[in-house]
Amino acid sequence: MLVQVLNTAVIMDVKVESLKSELKRVREENNTLRVMFEVLSSKYTKLESHLQEINKEQHKGMSSNQIGSVTEPILDVNNRRRLEFPTAKKPLQIFVRTHPMDDSLIVKDGYQWRKYGQKVTKDNASPRAYFRCSMAPICPAKKKVQRCLHDKSILVATYDGEHNHGALHEPSSSTPRGSSVANQLPSIANDKEAMNILALSGLSQTDRRHGEVMNQHNYDTNIKVEEYVSSLIKDPDFTMSLAEAVARTITGELKQQDINLNLNIPEE
DNA sequence: CGAATTTGACCAGCGC
DNA sequence: GCGCTGGTCAAATTCG
């Protein structure tokens, strides 16, 4: 009996030790990523401000050349006049990262949509799907969903019109349980507000598994960051300084962890 | 069997 | 007027 208890205690000790070492490893990894992110953020901020300065200078040059001329309309690839929406009335666009193997054009945003058409457009080989809201009998809300030209795993959803029904409903039987982003959202009366939250959330449990939801700004920023990261990786100076920073931080972190473990102080 | 989706036809707007 | 394009309709088909 006593032997059994001792054996159990030893097994528990071993488990505790392995969990401690696992925790330690995860904290180190987390810290490394945090340092990398901080370095990237600071360099990205500097680069962005530098880019803005360059843009300002270019703009000054252009405006001095354009004195007395009429601003040219924005034209598409066929020199056709493109519809320009004022910023305030610009249709809301959200970007949804999906699994590369998932070829459906379904963006789960908490509303029920009925597909009424599909077209292949000139500027994108991927078909564009047309949906209208089916949650209310005469809801004018519509959306178009098309795959991103540059990244097929990203769906671009363009929303037109306002929903004439208030709060987001609970998912109905036609919506798979737990698959809707709205499941994680509180009840929201205003659909634009809902969409803004949707666009900015991107971090719900479901989305971590099925994809990321981004708004236009986040998407553009992500592309910039990705380009910047790839250039930084090629920079040997950056790699060296990053390695030094990581080494310093890990050493400091380990010391702090030992103190915390000895004193049983929980970390944040 | 009803609802949802697919898909070819049709329509409107625009440039030439 | 013609051709091109995006958006919508509606019959056929599929799905639960």
CA distances, A87 to each of A71, A77, A91, A158, A264 (Å): 18, 22, 9, 15, 55
pLDDT, tens only, A108-146 = 777 888 999 999 888 888 889 999 888 876 788 889 998
User: Which residue in A236, A226, A169, A253 sits closest to A44, CA to CA?
Assistant: A226
Percent of chain A at pLDDT > 90 equals: 4
The CA–C1' separation of A78 and C3, in angstroms, is 13
Residue A42 has pLDDT above 60, yes or no: no
Pair of tokens at residue A232: 């930084």
Instruction: Please state whether the predicted TM-score (pTM) of the whole model is above 0.75.
Output: no
Strand C lies under 7 A from the Cβ of residue A130: yes
Confidence bin at A5 (pLDDT 50/70/90): low
pLDDT, tens only, A79-111 = 333 333 333 345 678 888 777 677 778 777 778
Confidence bin at A35 (pLDDT 50/70/90): low
Q: Are A159 and A195 in contact (CB under 8 A)?
A: yes
Cβ count within 10 A of residue A112 = 17
pLDDT, tens only, A183-212 = 333 333 334 333 433 443 333 333 333 444
User: Which residue in A242, A253, A264, A266 sits closest to A25, CA to CA?
Assistant: A253
Chain-centroid distance, C-alpha A87 = 22
The CA–C1' separation of A72 and B3, in angstroms, is 49
Rounded-to-integer distance, Cα A97 and Cα A87, Å: 25
pLDDT, tens only, A204-249 = 333 333 444 445 555 455 544 444 444 444 444 544 555 555 555 4
User: Which residue in A215, A242, A216 sits closest to A229, CA to CA?
Assistant: A242
**Strand ranges inside chain A, DSSP E:** 92-97, 113-120, 127-133, 142-147, 154-160, 213-215
* The nucleotide closest to A134 (CA, C1' atoms): B4
Q: Are A94 and A214 in contact (CB under 8 A)?
A: yes
Rounded-to-integer distance, Cα A111 and Cα A106, Å: 11
Confidence bin at A39 (pLDDT 50/70/90): low
Strand C lies under 7 A from the Cβ of residue A122: yes
Residues 79-98 of A with CB under 7 A from strand B: 79-81
* The nucleotide closest to A104 (CA, C1' atoms): B5
Strand B lies under 7 A from the Cβ of residue A129: yes
Backbone phi, then psi, for A180, in 5-degree steps? -90, 140
